[in-house]
Structure 1
């Protein structure tokens, strides 16, 4: 539980990574859950409660755009407030202070319940819930992965009204553009819905048309989409070639080879590659199996698969992904942190709230030690100790 909130306070002690650069001998001033200033330590006057955080690195809290579960909870299994709270609490212990709970293709009743639960959670100011990611059911059956074939559906204007009905927070929808009627992507984006291309058999040309119509990104690049070939660039080619769209990557060593990720990062416009977890219920809990649509998913050394070996999400947290890309992609700490905070905030157009430590942004922060273990987090100015201090 958070400590009792204080109206105005300053966080002192650690270095501060702002999203731009790293500052020493500075302090973060928070007022009513919003960052009021980032100033040199010697400029803090009297009348402000000072919180000494000791050492470490204070950075923008992580923002995860694709979270199916965690701590034993599965959004598809129970799209309700208790599940959302469990998922948020689990990932917050590892630095994620904002997330989009993600619904894999399901029934229309499950979809409606998921949107309603997220709407209520945001209305109740549940820490960490800032929208919803609907990963399907408007995808291509040939690239469905673990999505149940019977739940894959066509999309029309009536469905579009439901997708745009959250009205608060962010709605991100993954679609296969070759399965979407012309003009519908623009209709959704005009109503504030973010569109990502994924689970798609689209050609390069089809993906490019979807981008021109308003699609903004690509869901888990390389996985469940047409690959890059010499004469058929596919979805991957469109993602790497386009300068304005973003793509998410699952950096767990199972979904994509590190050399492939290095090539993708080299090819893509700076600031457009983001880390996602695609976390499943086995994340940070002792589960060797879990159920999905009547099928048993096996968990072995962090790898989630069906009986035939199909990958079924991950057990990542964004903290794990940050460590992976630093160690395997030769990225700097600062760039890895941006990929987990600044870039996803920009991807969904919420960089004025999240992703930076600067005046006016929400006080969503993570304190890391020298091994990048999470010591504590701050969400809207409320302080949360990690349940797992000093360890991963």
Structure 2
């Protein structure tokens, strides 16, 4: 069905327009004009490119680690669609190799089915640093083996991201992963600066939740944080929830990195999209929600209840960035990181992934491939 959407205001990824028609056919943008025979929808609010989240552990009461199924993945996507996410990487945290294989099978099935928003998979671990493990279970942290390499090398998983600690994975293995079309992110690591630089030279292209669970920047020991901020060609995920990163630290990193290399992530857990008092278990440890914060009963931060529109609005209110740049950090820049050049912006031929925001910058509608995925 041909559709033409006419919102009061449209942000195309670069600039704002007033009353600009966007026509969609077969899930793609075909014209910035009204197309003959199209059903017109006039929308009150601002239409922006759909958000892309490359680190989504759970949502809607589901944790990928404990529900490695297409239905579980789709439930996570439906929860995040309420908050403007139109593309995401279901993220499996450190676990047994059999669970990794089950998650890979589920993601492959979701990709083959065309489950709304599923772009691939993010394996956050298990090849991490014990001193920087956070809530990742130490019992499953291990050296990389042929079994994990076989999973990471599959060609039916869509976009593949793997977070690893470079002090525990050789540059030769990093090169092999990159050759297998894996986007290697560095994180949960106590590596020194030189080890991080060597990993970047081997092809690592991203950093997982900058500042969190990584060796810090010091005057004579720049650590992973220093290498990440210095690097001009890598992307950094940033959790802007007011708990994981101090606003001043976030501002410093944004100022230092080239424009386009900082992207918003949620690191979201099952309570996203659930009632305020939702709790869950993570490897037998209870995780408690207190407002907009998640802590394991052992004290550690345990992911987030952050959503993407919340991250956008926090970037404006906490960091003082312009609204349009916050939107790019949620859509265009993560699309560029994962190599989806036709997402994160409105252009002829791009998938019609769109979010309608009201005057309070809250989500009224989420549209994935031209189909309404959420309506308030």
TM range (shorter): over 0.9
Q: Residue 243 of structure 2 is aligned with which of 237, 254, 257?
A: 254
Counterpart Cα distance in 2 of 1:36 and 1:329:
36
- 2:312 aligned with 1:322: yes
Q: Which residue of 2 aligns with 1:22?
A: 16
Alignment size in residue pairs: 375
Give the secondary structure class of the aligned counterpart of 1:237: helix
Who is 1:222 aligned against?
211
Q: Distance in 2 between matches of 1:114 and 1:94?
A: 24
After TM superposition, give the deviation of residue 15 of structure 1 in Å: 1.2
Aligned-residue CA RMSD (Å): 1.2
Distance 1:304 1:256 in 2: 14
Which residue in the other structure is 1:11 paired with?
A: 5
Identify which range, 328-337 or 19-28, moves more after superposition. Answer: 19-28
Task: Tell me how far apart the structure 2 counterparts of residues 227 and 136 of structure 1 sit (CA, whole Å).
Answer: 20
Name the counterpart of 1:107. Answer: 96
Partner Cα separation in structure 2 for residue 45 and residue 172 of structure 1: 38
Partner of 1:304: 294
Whole-Å Cα distance in 2 between the matches of residues 342 and 182 of structure 1? 29
For residue 70 of structure 1, what is the aligned residue in structure 2? 59
In the TM superposition, what are the counterparts of 1:20-169 in structure 2 within 5 Å?
A: 20-39=14-33, 44-53=34-43, 55-169=44-158
Unaligned runs of 5+ in 1: 1-5
Cα offsets for 1:231-267 (capped at 9, x unmatched): 1001100110000101001111110111111111111
What corresponds to 2:253 in structure 1?
A: 264
Q: Does the aligned pair in 2 maintain the 1:119–1:166 contact within 8 Å?
A: no
TM-score normalised to structure 1 length: 0.93
SS at match of 1:76: helix
Q: Scaled by the length of structure 2, what TM-score is found? A: 0.97
Structure 1 CA distance for aligned equivalents of residues 260 and 37 of structure 2 = 39
Aligned pairs for 1:303-382 within 5 A: 303-352=293-342, 354-382=343-371
For the 8 Å contact 1:288–1:300, the answer to whether it is kept is no
What secondary structure is seen at the aligned counterpart in 1 of 2:302? strand
From 197, 201, 211, the counterpart of 2:200: 211
After superposition, residues 221-240 of structure 1 pair within 5 angstroms as 221-240=210-229
